[in-house]
Structure 1
Amino acid sequence: MNIETKRQKEKDIVALMIKIYCKKHHKSKHLCQECQQLKDYAFTRSDKCPFMETKTFCSNCKVHCYRPDMQQKIREVMAYSGPRMLFYHPVMAIKHVIETQKEKRRLENAK
Structure 2
Amino acid sequence: MTASRIRREKLTIRRMIALYARRCPQALPDEDHYSALNAYADKRLDKCVFGENKPACKQCPVHCYQPAKREEMKQIMRWAGPRMLWRHPVLTVLHLLDDRRPVPELPEKYRPKK
Give the 3-state SS of the residue equivalent to 2:62 in structure 1.
Answer: coil
Distance (Å, rounded) in 2 between the aligned partners of 1:33 and 1:49: 24
Q: Relative contact order (alpha carbons < 8 A, sep ≥ 6): 1 or 2 greater? A: 2
Structure 2: distance between partners of 1:99 and 1:53:
11
**CA shift digits 1:16-61 (9 cap, x unpaired):** 1001100013487xx8111111101000101111212322322221
Residues 1:15 and 2:21 aligned together: no
Structure 1 residues 27, 74: CA separation in 2 closer, same or farther (over 3 Å shift)?
Answer: closer
Q: How big is each residue's C-alpha offset from its partner over 1:52-94, in whole Å with a ceiling of 9 and x where there is no partner? A: 2322322221100100110011001100010000111111111
Amino acid paired to 1:48 = K
- Which residue in the other structure is 1:51 paired with? 50
Greater percentage in helix: 1
Aligned residues of 1:45 and 1:66 also touching (Cα < 8 A): yes
Native 8 Å contact 2:6 2:45 kept in 1: yes
What does residue 69 of structure 2 align with?
70
- What residue ranges of structure 1 are gaps of 5+ in the alignment? none
Aligned equivalents of 1:52 and 1:83: distance in 2? Answer: 27
Where does 1:71-110 land on structure 2 (aligned, <5 Å)? Answer: 71-101=70-100, 103=101, 106-107=102-103
TM-score in terms of structure 2 length: 0.79
Work out which of the two has the higher radius of gyration on C-alpha atoms and give 1 or 2: 2
Q: TM-score, normalised by structure 1?
A: 0.81
Letter in 2 for 1:79: R
2:73 is matched by which residue type in structure 1? I
